[in-house]
Structure 1
Amino acid sequence: MRTPALISALTALLTVGAAHAAPTKYPLTLKDDLGRTVTVKAEPKRMVSMLPSTTETLCAIGACGKLVGVDAYSNYPAQAAKLPRLGGLYDPNIEAIVALKPDLVIVSKYGKLEAPLTAAGLNVVAVNPETYEEVFTKTRLLGKIVNRDAQALNLVTSMRRDIARVEILTRNAVRKPTAYYEIDPTPYSIGPNSFMGVLLTKAGAQNVIPASLGDFPKVDPELIVKQNPQLILGTDLKTAGARPGWKSIQAVKTGKVIEIPKNLSNILSIPGPRLPEALRGLAKLVHPELFK
């Protein structure tokens, strides 16, 4: 099947189910990512988002105007970046959150933020996408919560279509280099089953980190020497070459060590609506020859 025909067929498949998008009926009772049963009594009007992925998703489905405050790391889009900053995962400003009088606070399942906020009388729901597929299911969940289900379905459809366009290019790559992706110089990396690991595979690379180590493991530098990747992402050649034994790694010997631009690195770290943009940027680093 030719590429245009393949994209058209895929789009048709993705749009199946559009009839299932319907206005939300409140009260809405759901089980959140902390395993709690939560009831949203009415369509939220004043919301606080304590995760960048949540902030970006809400804005992407047309609910940015409902936000009255965001976490310290929500810097996209511009409308959200102008909102009051309410701290991070482990240093939230509880008093500031309460003072905004939100009718719903969406939090991470980490950081134990739900307890003090619930004690303060606020309605809290944990929505925390971690895997690749959860990016899409949690987008639909957020759409349901804020009565934007149709918009959420449209977003998911367009995201999958744009991701497929990149995959069509990388699938035809002559070579698929073995790769090590570093997210922190400790070093921490990404497992193949994490959402970032899935993106790396879709970008046309073979992750050298075993799935058995987990999604975002701290790795033994000697393991990377043993795995001998053809490509290293997330650090620079000088840093990699200075590590004990790393000069023998193929990627270091051939200069295939690429420091990811800060903006792209930020997008790659957020399991939200910019996933297609993140994939395209990553694929350009892995296979620049496909994007000339």
Structure 2
Amino acid sequence: MSAQQRLRLAPLLLALVLALPAQAEISVADDSGRTVRLATPARRIVSLAPHVAELIYAAGAGDRLVGTVQFSTYPEAARRLPQVGGYSRFDLEAILALKPDLVIGWQSGNPAEQIARMQSLGLPLFLTQPDRIDDVARNLEQIGTLAGTEATARAAAAHYRARHKALAARYSARPPVRVFYQVWKTPLMTVGGRQIISDVLTLCGGRNVFADLTALAPTVNEEAVLAADPEVIIASGMDQARPEWVDDWRRWPTMTAVARGNLFHVPPELIQRHTPRLLDGAEQVCGQLEQARSRRPAAKP
């Protein structure tokens, strides 16, 4: 091409460049109500909770995850990433060293003072707080938007919602079952009505006997459990094994849950993490409540 031809084409090329749409800023409101803004999709993400790391992978952004916290064990790839401490106390210097362009945290699980410190440093911080089953799908879509993996995230969210709908259609209208969900033995901890596990119980036709408590993970006493007389006790514990302490309730043979043999266990990874696997845990809970219904005394004619 001659110099004269290039001069004639220059105005046309400039016009074409100017006509290209500028990349829009990414703007997403997080669960704390703050709006997170990114100029471009995140490429270096740090997760501040095990459930967050799992959500990031499920949203198709696992290759953008550069750091996690302790107990980030699923999927397997998450185990191999650098750790920046635990969700209840993380190492801010270690986070900064990873040079993230997005940090995703857990509003009720991360220390408020450390969250405030990160915000004061100007780190782009997105907080999750999924208190209801539907919130998991919403978080997937939000992470997909922030990471530029919208198609994968939308597909994962749609699959999750369809599965949730199917479980609700099958179990939510079943005869109600009074349930005590035990998180831990000492102190004796349960879940309040605003906690996502309480929503799982409702999905399965269960009724959380401590649903009126507003704390997410309140401490109760043995006398309160005995007074509530649950038909079912479900324990989680710390790992895949059934905790021995769930059988301590057998000291009270007149309690309905004990008298009918309704002392159950669900692995905590399936019920205490706000991820798509929550519905795996929900399926187990629903099956357990069906067992409890089958053990009810036959109605007298």
Number of paired residues? 259
Q: Is the 8 A contact 1:47 1:67 kept in 2?
A: yes
Q: Cα distance, 1:94 vs. partner?
A: 1.6
What amino acid does structure 2 have at the position aligned with 1:278?
Answer: G
The structure with the largest alpha-carbon Rg is 2
Q: How does 1:259-278 map to 2 (within 5 A)?
A: 259-260=265-266, 264-278=267-281
Q: How does 1:116-265 map to 2 (within 5 A)?
A: 116-120=117-121, 122-171=123-172, 173=174, 175-185=175-185, 186-234=187-235, 236=245, 238-242=247-251, 246-260=252-266, 264-265=267-268
CA distance in 2, matches of 1:225, 1:151: 47
Q: Cα distance, 1:227 vs. partner?
A: 1.5
Matched position secondary structure for 1:107 = strand
TM-score normalised to the size of structure 2? 0.77
Q: Cα distance, 1:143 vs. partner?
A: 1.6
Q: Is the 8 A contact 1:48 1:102 kept in 2?
A: yes
Q: Is the 8 A contact 1:192 1:201 kept in 2?
A: no
Aligned identity (percent) is 25
What amino acid does structure 2 have at the position aligned with 1:49?
Answer: S
Which range moved further: 102-111 or 164-173? Answer: 164-173
What RMSD, in angstroms, separates the aligned Cα atoms of the two structures? 2.5
What amino acid does structure 2 have at the position aligned with 1:198?
Answer: D
The structure, 1 or 2, with the larger RCO (C-alpha pairs under 8 Å, 6+ apart) is: 1
Q: Cα distance, 1:108 vs. partner?
A: 2.1
Gaps of 5+ in 1: 1-24
CA distance in 2, matches of 1:231, 1:131: 22
CA distance in 1, matches of 2:231, 2:289: 11
Q: Cα distance, 1:58 vs. partner?
A: 1.3
CA distance in 1, matches of 2:122, 2:216: 35
The one-character-per-residue Cα deviations of 1:217-239 (angstroms, maximum 9, x if unpaired) are 22232222122111111165531
What amino acid does structure 2 have at the position aligned with 1:66?
Answer: R
Q: Is the 8 A contact 1:159 1:275 kept in 2?
A: no
CA distance in 1, matches of 2:253, 2:94: 50
Q: Is the 8 A contact 1:47 1:69 kept in 2?
A: yes
Matched position secondary structure for 1:137 = helix
Q: Is the 8 A contact 1:26 1:43 kept in 2?
A: no
CA distance in 2, matches of 1:117, 1:177: 44
CA distance in 2, matches of 1:247, 1:259: 19
Matched position secondary structure for 2:161 = helix
TM-score normalised to the size of structure 1? 0.79
Q: Is the 8 A contact 1:132 1:194 kept in 2?
A: no
CA distance in 2, matches of 1:155, 1:256: 34
Gaps of 5+ in 2: 1-22, 236-242, 294-301
What amino acid does structure 2 have at the position aligned with 1:152?
Answer: A
Q: Which residue of 1 aligns with 2:111?
A: 111
What amino acid does structure 2 have at the position aligned with 1:182?
Answer: Q
